[in-house]
Amino acid sequence: MTAAVPGSATRAAEGYPSRARPAPHTLQPPRPVPRTISHWAPADVALAAGCAASALIVAWLVFAVFTDGAGWLAALGCWYLVFISLLYLTFREQAGQTVAADQVATVVIGTGAVLLAVPLAWVMGYIALHGYHALRPSFFLHDQRGVTPVKPATAGGGLHAIIGTVEQVGLALAASFPLSLLTAVFLNETRSRWRRPVRTLIDAMSGLPSIMAGLFIYATLVIPFGNHIKLFGFDGFNAALALAIVMVPTLTRTTDVVLRLVPDGLRESALALGSSRARMVWSVVLPTARTGVTTSVVLGVARAVGETAPLLFTSFGYDLLNTNPFSDPQESLPLFAYRNVQKQSQAAIDRGFTGALVLLLVVLGLFLLARYIGRQRGKSGRRGSGRVKHWMAKRPALSSRSRTDVQ
Amino acid sequence: MTTTESPTAASAFTAQSLERARSVSDPPTRIDRAFAAATSTAGLTVFLLMVLIGAFLVLRSRLALESQGASFLTRSEWNTTGKPPSIGVLGLLSGTVLVGIIAISIAIPISVLAALFIAEYAGPRLRRPLTGIVDLLAAVPSLLYGLWGFRYFSDQVTPLSKWLTDNLGWIPLFATDKDARFTGSLFIAGLVVSLMVLPIVTSISREVFSQTPPGEKEAALALGGTRWGMIRHVVLPYGKGGIIGGSMLGLGRALGETIAVSLLLPQIAKPTIHILQYGGGTIAGFIAQRAGGDKFTVSGLMAAGLVLFALTLATNLLASVVIARSRSGAGVEA
């Protein structure tokens, strides 16, 4: 090697073309093209379509000719099985086993995603379709006063249910949110010995079936005291307590996760600047986690709005408007839908579906709100970095001016 | 700055500071103490509340449990008015477990496939709406799934149930009585409950799949593997623990499902393994339909609820252990 270097140096000095500069007409190596992992050429797509079509014919043959109808669900399943087998066989014929397995896996895994989306659209679409008929503005203005089974579905409304839901969920949130937030702070920001047992118990309680919360309130408050104390009879307050029992473990857990996401560096900087733990939590941790906590609260409310089971033994349901949650039975949207849809008359069933549609819209609105808040958080983060960039962009001018000042 | 004094001054300073090391933790201020008190109170309140709920469940169910003894778990009738009353939870328990198993065995394949699609196939443009769909599936109240199943979907499944029992009736599970009704069956309840299990299994599987070390995935591809080969030999073995744990969490959810099941099943306390025909019930759904009653009835419902709670608790705890183990293993391998 050491011998070659002076040699090449002399050759370069003698005017030979160096290796760094290629000859003008030599062949360039082909530009590297990234290998695509799974590739669907147009011919493959056509092949798959052909398989689907022939599977359709086979399925039709089986279901129209050989069996006396097992329903369209079975037909669909049969079609899919035939389609997948045909797809595998044709691809194996063309490109071999490995490629065939890969292509079929792509189709099957894609089907999984479709099967996730279809039932959701189906349920929401069905409820929208059946609730839409009887949905009038009057639904938001009237209760069920004077509604008899022979009246049409548009008679009366669900105002009493909406008011009940708002009051019960509001009370439940007022009871459970401060408790959950403080407990999450307790779990994350203190060094108590009790953190472990509390966390274990909360995890255990979040698995409690929600009907048990209602049964618990029923057995501890309604049965012993209901006849003597008005507050503990069937009313919205008991429902709110049951809802709070359901909400506390879930809210605490989600808030706990959000607080855990706050970077430790922020906590340490706050402590290093001399702040106390309380000041650190109040001025650094909670503001950082604010949007996350808001999101989890909104999602928790969305869950609580749709809870039906805890209300069965507690607020009991009532057809007329009762704005006072602290005495007498009260309706709420899920109970309204649950009770009406089990009645005999078609008008009542339609009314129940209208209630279900309103409930669905409320839940959907809360869900979108949570997503919007979450996205705002992403955006504000980007805006923050943008602000830094803006500042950085200004800085050279600033420094150059300072330099001129020095000169 | 004179250099003559500084060494002695510095050494004196260090000697002094070594003698009296500044304590890092300051004495807590009043606000600090209030903060500690408030958070501890909240934590302990929640703790006590939860203990209280558990204690009351046990206390209130004692009346029924003492009168029935161990036969509460082995009997399958619900007669609270007889003398002596005889109630047992076996039939409901078997219904609960059957619905849970049907639901989870339908949900697992769909969830794992969907999670694979989200983690490995979907581009960033498709991934966001898909995770949104998973979250929305979890957010839709179970009542709405129940209404859909009760008023619409069960009629769509009926022909399938009929065909199954006509052609596969020799399997005891698919056998039915003559002229049996096909609505209100455990099979339909399991189908509807599987929708409520989908989001939890999907999100946990997806989370585990997305934690697969990228180096190993790329190694599989670099060795010439197809995408399916990579999934089969790297992603799926890696995510096995997560799939199992997520499925068990889903099972816990399915066992406790109340409203949809109470709409879909007749809530009969008799055990049945004929999953295609009208009949059966689950503990949660049974409680929901028997709202109210005298002290003994409520105590019986409480005892049934206690059994359900123990079942879901055991499932959930096992699931969290499995998930935690799969995650800690992931930490070591990565």
Is the distance from CB of A153 to CB of A133 less than 8 angstroms? yes
pLDDT for A386 equals 37
Quote the pTM value: 0.83
Instruction: Identify the band that residue B13 occupies on the pLDDT scale cut at 50, 70 and 90.
Output: low
- What is the distance in angstroms between the Cα of A123 and the nearest Cα belonging to chain B? 6
pLDDT for B198 equals 94
pLDDT tens-place string over residues A94-135: 888 888 898 899 999 999 999 999 999 999 999 999 988 888
Map tokens 């778990």 to a residue. B73
Task: Tell me which of A28 and B251 has the higher pLDDT.
Answer: B251
Token pair of A255, please?
């808030």
| In the predicted structure, residue A6 carries a pLDDT above the cut 60 | no
Dmax over Cα atoms in chain B, in whole Å? 111
pLDDT for A27 equals 66
Token pair of A13, please?
């000095």
**Half-sphere exposure of residue B77: CA atoms within 13 angstroms, side-chain side:** 7
A316 by DSSP, 3-state: which?
strand
pLDDT for A220 equals 86
| In the predicted structure, residue B136 carries a pLDDT above the cut 80 | yes
Average pLDDT, integer, range A259-278: 90
Closest CA to B327 of B220, B210, B234: B210
Average pLDDT, integer, range A335-343: 90
Task: Tell me which of A258 and B77 has the higher pLDDT.
Answer: A258
| In the predicted structure, residue B6 carries a pLDDT above the cut 60 | no
Q: Which of A102, A112, A120 sits opposite B227 (nearest CB)?
A: A102
Contact between chains at B43 and A99 (C-beta distance less than 8 A): no
Tell me the pLDDT of chain B averaged across its residues: 85
Residue type, A38: S
As a three-state string, the secondary structure of chain B is: CCCCCHHHHHHHHHHHHHHCCCCCCCCCCHHHHHHHHHHHHHHHHHHHHHHHHHHHHHHHHHHHHHHHCCHHHHCCCEECCCCCCEECCHHHHHHHHHHHHHHHHHHHHHHHHHHHHHHHHCCHHHHHHHHHHHHHHHHCCHHHHHHHHHHHHHHHHHHHHHHHHHHHCCCHHHCCCCCCCCCCEHHHHHHHHHHHHHHHHHHHHHHHHHCCCHHHHHHHHHCCCCHHHHHHHHHHHHHHHHHHHHHHHHHHHHHHCCHHHHHHCCCCCCCCCCCCCECCCCHHHHHHHCCCCCHHHHHHHHHHHHHHHHHHHHHHHHHHHHHHHHHHHHHHHC
pLDDT for A97 equals 87
Contact between chains at A252 and B46 (C-beta distance less than 8 A): yes
Rounding to the nearest 10 degrees, give the CA dihedral for residues A250, A251, A252, A256.
Answer: 100
User: Does residue A263 come out as left (phi exceeding 0), alpha (psi in the -120 to 50 range) or beta?
Assistant: beta
Is the distance from CB of B61 to CB of A216 less than 8 angstroms? no
B72 touches chain A (CB under 8 A): no
- Round to whole Å and give the CA distance between B204 and B239: 10
A196 touches chain B (CB under 8 A): no
- Round to whole Å and give the CA distance between B87 and B305: 13
pLDDT tens-place string over residues B55-106: 888 888 888 888 888 888 888 888 887 778 888 889 899 999 999 999 999 9
- What is the distance in angstroms between the Cα of A299 and the nearest Cα belonging to chain B? 8
C-alpha distance from residue B83 to each of B20, B87, B270, B304 (Å): 81, 11, 20, 20
Task: Please name the residue of chain A whose CA is at the shortest distance from the CA of residue B306.
Answer: A212
Q: Which of B141, B227, B231 sits opposite A334 (nearest CB)?
A: B141
Task: Please name the residue of chain A whose CA is at the shortest distance from the CA of residue B34.
Answer: A278
Sign of the C-alpha dihedral, residues B243, B245, B251, B254?
A: negative
Percent of chain A clearing pLDDT 90 (strictly above): 37
Range with the lowest mean pLDDT among A106-110, A189-193, B37-41, B215-219? A189-193
Task: Tell me which of B39 and A4 has the higher pLDDT.
Answer: B39
pLDDT for A179 equals 94
Antiparallel, parallel or unpaired: β B86-87 and B78-79: antiparallel
- Residues in chain A, overall count: 407
Task: Please name the residue of chain A whose CA is at the shortest distance from the CA of residue B297.
Answer: A219
Instruction: Identify the band that residue B19 occupies on the pLDDT scale cut at 50, 70 and 90.
Output: low
**What are the contacts of A379-386 at 24+ separation with CB within 8 A?**
A380/A291
CB atoms near residue B318 (< 10 Å): 16
A81 touches chain B (CB under 8 A): no
Contact between chains at B117 and A112 (C-beta distance less than 8 A): yes
pLDDT for A26 equals 62
A194 touches chain B (CB under 8 A): yes
- Round to whole Å and give the CA distance between B125 and A290: 27
CB atoms near residue A178 (< 10 Å): 12
User: Does residue B265 come out as left (phi exceeding 0), alpha (psi in the -120 to 50 range) or beta?
Assistant: beta
Closest CA to A131 of A401, A364, A328, A309: A364
CB atoms near residue B122 (< 10 Å): 19
Residue A3: exposure state from Cβ atoms within 10 A (0-12, 13-18, ≥19): exposed
- What is the distance in angstroms between the Cα of A356 and the nearest Cα belonging to chain B? 7
Chain A residues closer than 8 Å to B46 by CB: 179-180, 183, 198, 201-202, 248, 252
pLDDT for A366 equals 94
- Round to whole Å and give the CA distance between B228 and A103: 8
Find which of A39, A109, A227, A303 to mutate to test the B interface (most B CBs within 10 Å of its CB). A109
- What is the distance in angstroms between the Cα of B296 and the nearest Cα belonging to chain A? 11
C-alpha distance from residue A47 to each of A54, A93, A232, B26 (Å): 11, 12, 69, 75
Per-residue b or e along B167-182, where b marks 16 or more CB atoms closer than 10 Å to that residue's CB: eeeeeebbbbeeebeb
Which residues are CB-neighbours of A201 under 8 A, at least 6 positions away?
A: B46, B47, B50, B51
Q: Which of A105, A198, A356 sits opposite B147 (nearest CB)?
A: A356
- Round to whole Å and give the CA distance between B42 and B49: 10
Instruction: Identify the band that residue A378 occupies on the pLDDT scale cut at 50, 70 and 90.
Output: low
pLDDT for B182 equals 87
Most confident of A16-25, A225-234, A342-351: A342-351
pLDDT for A34 equals 58
- What is the distance in angstroms between the Cα of B111 and the nearest Cα belonging to chain A? 7
Contact between chains at A209 and B255 (C-beta distance less than 8 A): yes
Q: Which of A106, A126, A352 sits opposite B148 (nearest CB)?
A: A126
Average pLDDT, integer, range A358-362: 95
Range with the lowest mean pLDDT among A69-83, A300-314, A376-390, B229-243? A376-390
Range with the lowest mean pLDDT among B11-15, B17-21, B26-30, B124-128? B11-15
Q: Which of A70, A276, A349 sits opposite B163 (nearest CB)?
A: A70
| In the predicted structure, residue A387 carries a pLDDT above the cut 60 | no
Is the distance from CB of B122 to CB of A113 less than 8 angstroms? yes
A15 touches chain B (CB under 8 A): no
Is the distance from CB of A247 to CB of A172 less than 8 angstroms? yes
pLDDT for A247 equals 93
A195 touches chain B (CB under 8 A): yes
Rounding to the nearest 10 degrees, give the CA dihedral for residues B131, B133, B134, B139.
Answer: 130
C-alpha distance from residue A234 to each of A280, A331, B194, B301 (Å): 44, 11, 33, 19
Task: Tell me which of A274 and A394 has the higher pLDDT.
Answer: A274
Instruction: Quickly list DSSP for A52-110.
Output: HHHHHHHHHIIIIIISS--HHHHHHHHHHHHHHHHHHHHHHHHH-HHHHHHHHHHHHHH
- Round to whole Å and give the CA distance between B159 and A82: 20
pLDDT for A1 equals 40
Chain A residues closer than 8 Å to B309 by CB: 208-209, 212
pLDDT for A296 equals 92
Instruction: Identify the band that residue A356 occupies on the pLDDT scale cut at 50, 70 and 90.
Output: very high
B228 touches chain A (CB under 8 A): yes
B273 touches chain A (CB under 8 A): no
Average pLDDT, integer, range B202-227: 91
- What is the distance in angstroms between the Cα of B5 and the nearest Cα belonging to chain A? 32
Instruction: Identify the band that residue A184 occupies on the pLDDT scale cut at 50, 70 and 90.
Output: very high
- What is the distance in angstroms between the Cα of B90 and the nearest Cα belonging to chain A? 19
Is the distance from CB of A343 to CB of B263 less than 8 angstroms? no
Tell me the pLDDT of chain A averaged across its residues: 82
- Round to whole Å and give the CA distance between A86 and A334: 47
A143 by DSSP, 3-state: which?
coil
Average pLDDT, integer, range B16-27: 63
A330 by DSSP, 3-state: which?
strand
- What is the distance in angstroms between the Cα of B238 and the nearest Cα belonging to chain A? 18
Which residues are CB-neighbours of B195 under 8 A, at least 6 positions away?
A: A119, A123, B107, B137, B145
Contact between chains at A73 and B156 (C-beta distance less than 8 A): yes
Contact between chains at B41 and A182 (C-beta distance less than 8 A): yes
Beta bridge partners of B79: B86
CA-based angle A201:A204:A210, to the nearest 5? 120
